Amino acid sequence: MLIGRIKEQAAIDGLLATARAGKSGSLVLRGEAGIGKSALLDYAAEAAGEEMRVLRGAGFEPEIELPFAGLHLLLRGAVDTIDVLPAAQARALRGALGMEPGFSGDRFLVGLALLTLLADLAERRPLLCLVDDAQWLDHASAEALLFAARRLEAEGVVLIFAAREDEHAFPAAGVPDLHLTGLDTSCAAELLATYAGDLAPRARERLLREAHGNPLALLELPALLTAAQSADESPIHAFGIGSCPAPGRVHHAFRDRIARLPEAARTVLLVAAADDTGALDVVLTAARKLGVDLADLDTAEAAGLVHVGDGRVFFRHPLVRSAVYHLTSLMRRLAAHRALAETLAGRPGDVDRWAWHLAAAATGPDEESAAALERSAEHARARGGHAAVAAACERAAQLSPDPRERGRRLTLAAAAAAEAGLYERACELADQAASDVADPKVLAYLARTRAMIAMAHGEVETAHALLTGTAEAIIGQAEDVAIALFFEALTPAWIGSNYAALARTATRVSELHSTKAGQLQPMTRVLAGMGGLAGEEPPGGLAWLRDMIEGLRDRSEPAELQERAQLAIWDLVIGDDTLAHERAVAIERQCRAQGAIGLLPLALALVARSQMFLGMHREALASAEEGLRIARDTEQGYYAALLVGVLTYLAAIEGDEERCLKLAEQIADVHDAATGGMRCVSLNLLDLSLGRPETALRRAEEFGAFGPAARTVMVMHRMPDLVEAAVRADRNDFAVAASERVQVWAAQTPSPWADAVALRCRALLASDEDAERYYEQALHLHLRGGRLFERARTELLYGEWLRRLRRRADARHQLRSALDIFERLGSRPWADRARAELRAAGERQTGEGRLSEGVLDRLTSQELQIIRMAATGLSNREIAAQLFLSPRTIGYHLYKAYPKLGVASRAELARLDLDEGGHLTG
């Protein structure tokens, strides 16, 4: 029975009740060692009863560098259900658990596979997963478990973690915390009386003060006392533990009990503490090599420090393991690791543990141990354990006799740490590697890693300098590698709007006379094109980019998804929305098919941007929200910012000022051309739609309306708004200059919508005699397809112009079309403006309130995404695999969506025509 944990028990009871009702939840119990976290996990397991299935696991400090060790322990009783998962997920989870050697998948796919597995297990009865000592979980297991925990919704699954609240804290963003403190005085006294009732009153009072309400201290400190101290015949402070914190006192208590054991029993405990499995056969085999046996283990068990069961040795508490290991001399620890390495040598499935014990037994540089650890790192990489790769390569570097090998292994460690998102550690490792690296390929790899770290911190100029500086350093030894680095340096320069750096890089490459010109031609042509964009006549560079894209398309699509995603970015740069959308959707579908969750945020950012430009605003909202959720789950801040930029623009189009400003604030510190530019465009559009043209112009001037940002295709997204704002604010000089920019760029963008927008800008500045001709030509081009929102704005401006000339019938024709499009797109302020113009033009019925009539408006963006997939015949399981949710969550959203649509089954849903305008037809 627990004493004094009523609030904590209630929280656990609430989670269990929620699971029994078919909902899911998660919780992290936090507190110092011995505060009662494990006891609460035991309570949860008991309270779950027979009606819930319980899986238990734990983190172990010696296993913290072994990828998916914690997950393997948690799922050891459920691995037989993995085969029923979708094929890609099953392969990923089997590979992570070492059941399918050689398989390497997206590391986030393991988290999705775990989510699906937990949901499947909960189909039979609610599921409770308990993870003790979560602070010692290996990085890969923690990542997978937290990925699943953040996405639990309607499965009937509860995940409870217990973690220390110290320097080894378990970060769990998005999962609720419950902080445990010491028991109050009355509860602490009750616990002490229950388990040490024979203490004299003054001894009891002293222990209560020493324990500070820590339950483990209250249970263990009495064992330190002699009979005289228990009877208050000798002072307790004689033990020298005075003001030491409660966990430290308990540690002292365990050390004292260990020290009383015979040496042979301490040796077998040391082997068990050094081992990372607790496997009885391993512990005993290694112990025998040190001259001890099963009888000595019995002695340790009789002392209450360990217990043996199910073929494993379990320590009473993690503090016992720590006390055993650190109480022992260095030489004895080395001997224990050497015995374990000899025991594990040649055992299938234990190669990684063998390598780590071999390394732990090393006393100086040792190439055999270093090579073994590097092989272990490759195993970890194949399983998606990037943090484990970093740890293994770092230790291998420390053991490397050859400085060049040391530098190479540190470089591998830095790259793996960066891939795991451990950027601070990656930076330290890269700095250590720098002095020992000379090989040009390794130097290039190190430069890419350091550039990746810089990009993660938003230091785009640093990233560009690292790549180009290394390219210059190695160009005499490896020109092809150098040119590749110059090419990669384009991205940070472009993102940072550093067009001078772009031009310099392009010029530098153009000066080279490479012997590999044919092989590197696509790279050199892109460099030349980007240099053109950065020059005084930037639009000329678009032709180079267009030729490069078309040339690649004519040959074949790149095999790598990452390369294809980069190509889709250039489609947007040259203004080809349709091709960008087709390519982005194909990449998105392949990401879903392969379970490539890590790349999906970029793919969804590209899809959302192209949908936004094509007028598919509802679809863009769904894509951006899903992409943002996954980007945050996978800690990809740059792509999260890109997606927030899309959401900001969509809110601006809708005229939702509160939401637009809130989203814009989230990316206020992001100044790159893609995100910072989109933020500026969004706020300008919002101000323009709400009748604040002067505000839009002031912001544009602060952002640099005619500066570097005007030397990219963003001109076509920004300048037309500024032309209109300047005309409405009587800033003719600004309007003329902005319009000239639009004309130049539109001439280089082979899209009818671009020419149409350019003509609209000319119409705004033209005499009445010329304006009508420009408007008519613009509308003719708009009808050939492209950006629907821009077409409606052209029709609105033309209609306003016609009404001012008292050509009311002609005006109404344009204004009705504009109003219809604005309503379909959900652009309320623009629809209101068109409606007001229609009334002024003599229209009596202007469709007031039609925006709220669309049935699909009642759905959330996620519900809309799910019902459209369900309407194509996909099962809940298939939809879940594509949206990276659980099948139960898909069913939950369909259950909520059906009444909103007036349907009761999938069959009825399939008969609906779910068009993009928000209306349903049967």
DSSP 231: T
Question: For position 402, what pLDDT does the model report?
Answer: 94
The position carrying tokens 């032709």 is 543
Q: What's the one-letter identity of residue 879?
A: I
CATH ID of 6-179, from 1.20.58.340, 3.40.50.300, 3.40.50.620, 3.30.70.270: 3.40.50.300
Q: What is the DSSP string of 37-84?
A: HHHHHHHHHHHH-TTSEEEEEE--GGGTTSTTHHHHHHTTTTGGGGGG
CB 74 within 8 A of CB 144: no
Which of 667, 606, 603 is CA-nearest to residue 641?
A: 667
Question: For position 706, what pLDDT does the model report?
Answer: 55
29 SS3 class: strand
Averages of pLDDT over each 10 residues, the chain, 922 residues: 88 95 94 89 93 92 82 88 85 82 66 90 93 90 90 92 82 89 86 78 77 80 65 49 56 79 91 85 92 88 87 83 84 92 85 87 90 85 76 91 94 86 86 92 93 80 93 89 84 77 78 58 61 57 64 53 66 75 85 73 89 86 90 81 94 93 92 80 92 90 61 72 93 91 82 92 92 95 88 95 92 92 89 92 65 60 81 83 81 84 78 55 41
E strands along 328-464, which residues? none
Q: What's the one-letter identity of residue 97?
A: L
What CATH number belongs to 855-921?
Answer: 1.10.10.10
Question: For position 538, what pLDDT does the model report?
Answer: 53
Question: For position 523, what pLDDT does the model report?
Answer: 58
Pseudo-torsion of CA 398, 403, 406, 412, nearest 10°? 160
Distance in angstroms (rounded) separating the CA atoms of residues 838 and 819: 9
Q: Are strands 157-164 and 913-914 parallel, antiparallel or unpaired?
A: unpaired
| Bridge partner list, 315 | 306
Question: For position 849, what pLDDT does the model report?
Answer: 46
H/E stretch holding 198 reads none
* Residue 180, Ramachandran bin (φ over 0: left; ψ between -120 and 50: alpha; else beta): beta
214 Cβ neighbours under 8 A, 6+ residues apart: 32, 34, 35, 182, 183, 246, 247, 250
CB 177 within 8 A of CB 28: yes
* Residue 463, Ramachandran bin (φ over 0: left; ψ between -120 and 50: alpha; else beta): alpha
CA 387 centroid distance within chain: 15
Axis-axis angle for helices 861-871, 617-633 (nearest 10): 110
Domain positions in the chain are 6-179, 185-234+244-257, 261-344, 346-429, 787-848, 855-921
Which of 705, 813, 795 is CA-nearest to residue 757?
A: 795
**Structure token digits, residue 718:** 């920004």
**Structure token digits, residue 193:** 């009386």
What value, to the nearest 5°, has the Cα angle with vertex 228 and ends 222 and 230? 30
